[in-house]
Amino acid sequence: MGNMKQEMAHEGSEGRGNDVFVAEEIRVLQPALREYVAALLSGRDGVDDLVQETNLFLWSKRTDFVEGTNFRSWALRVAWFKVMAARRDRAREGKVVFSDSMIEMLAERAEQRMQEADARLGALRICLEKTRPQDRRLLQWKYARGGSLTELAAACGKAPTAIHKSLSRLRLALRHCVENQLKSARP
Amino acid sequence: MSMQPDRELRKLVDGVIDGTLTRSEWARLEERMEADRAAMDYYLEMMGQETMLAEICGAEETEPVPQANPRWRPWWAAAAAAMVLAAGVFTWQALQKRESGATMDDSPLARLTGGVADDVMGRRIESGAALTGKVLIGKGLAEVTHRSGTRLLIEGPAQYEITGPNAGRLDHGKLVAEVPPGAEGYTVVWRDGKVVDLGTEFAVDVPESDGPAEVGVFRGEVRVHPGARPQSEGAPLYTGHAVRLSGSTTTGLRSIPFDQERFVRRMPTRELSWYHRGDGEAFRWNVSHLVWGAGEYLVVFKWMSGAEALTVEKVELLLDGEVVSVDEHFSSVGDLSSTVGNVYRLKVGPRHWRRGEWELRAWPGEKDGAKTEGIAMFEDATILGTSGEDFQGVWEYVHDGKNYRRAFHPDGTCTLWVDGKASDYFQDARWQVNGGVLRVNFPASQLAEEHLLRDKDSLLFINQPYRNARRAR
The answer to whether residues B241 and B203 touch, using CB atoms and an 8 Å cutoff, is no
Eight-state DSSP code of residue A27: H
- Test A35 with B44 for CB contact under 8 angstroms: yes
Nearest Cα to Cα of residue B172 among B69, B63, B76: B76
Q: How many CB atoms lie within 10 A of CB A177?
A: 17
Q: What's the Cα-to-Cα distance from B236 to each of B202, B215, B219, B241, rounded to whole Å?
A: 13, 11, 13, 10
**Higher-confidence position of B115 and B62:** B115
Report pLDDT for A16. 53
Chain B residues close to A42, C-beta within 8 Å: 16, 47
Q: Taking the CA atoms of A26, A31, A32 and A37 in sequence, report the sign of the dihedral they define.
A: positive
N residues, chain A: 187
DSSP annotation of A29: H
- Phi, psi at residue B420, to the nearest 5°? 90, -10
- Nearest by CB to residue B68, choosing from A3, A140, A155, is A155
CA B54 to chain centre: 29
- Would the pLDDT of B201 be above 80? yes
Q: What is the predicted pLDDT for the residue at A103?
A: 93
Percent of chain B with pLDDT over 70: 87
Say yes or no for a CB contact (<8 Å) between B63 and A109.
no
Cα–Cα dist B141/A164, whole Å: 37
Q: Please say whether the beta carbons of B344 and B364 come within 8 A.
A: no
Cβ pair B143, B162 in contact under 8 A: no
Handedness of CA A36, A37, A43, A49 (dihedral sign): negative
Q: Is A130 at the interface with chain B, CB within 8 A?
A: no
List phi, psi (to 5°) of B442.
-105, 105
Backbone angles phi, psi at B326, to 5 degrees: -135, 140
Question: Given this model, what pLDDT does residue B2 score?
Answer: 61
3-state secondary structure of B225: strand
Residue B25 and residue B8: Cα distance in Å, rounded?
10
At B369 the pLDDT is 64
Measuring CA to CA, how many Å separate A139 from each of B63, B155, B160? 10, 31, 21
The predicted-structure confidence for A143-176, as pLDDT tens digits, reads as follows 876 667 777 777 677 777 888 888 899 999 999 9
The band of A24, judged by pLDDT with boundaries at 50, 70 and 90, is confident
Task: Calculate how close chain B gets to A158, using CA atoms only, in Å.
Answer: 10
A contact residues 75-114, partner B, Cβ 8 Å cutoff:
96, 98-99, 102, 105-106, 109-110, 113
Q: What number does CATH give the domain A116-185? A: 1.10.10.10
Q: Could you report the per-residue pLDDT of B378-424, keeping only the tens digit for each? A: 988 878 888 888 899 999 998 888 899 999 999 999 999 999 999 98
Q: Are B298 and B359 in contact (CB under 8 A)?
A: no
Please indicate whether residue B107 or residue B19 has the higher confidence score (pLDDT).
B19
Where in chain A is CATH 1.10.10.10?
A: 116-185
For residue B151, pLDDT over 80 is answered with yes
Sign of dihedral through CA atoms A53, B107, B137, B141?
Answer: negative
CB B48 to CB A3 under 8 A?
no
pLDDT at site B356: 80
Average pLDDT over residues B72-91: 25
Could you read off the pLDDT of B308-349 as tens digits, one per residue?
A: 788 899 999 999 999 999 999 988 888 877 788 889 999 998
| Closest residue in chain A to residue B70, using alpha carbons only | A155
Segments of chain A assigned to CATH 1.10.1740? 2-112
Classify domain A2-112 at the CATH class level.
Answer: mainly alpha
Burial class (CB in 10 A: 0-12, 13-18, 19+), B268: middle
Torsion over CA: B106, B171, B150, B460 (sign) = negative
What's the mean pLDDT in B259-264? 85
Amino acid at B3: M
Whether chain A has a CB inside 8 Å of the CB on B84: the answer is yes
C-alpha distance across the termini of chain A, in Å: 31
CB contact under 8 A, A171 and B81: no
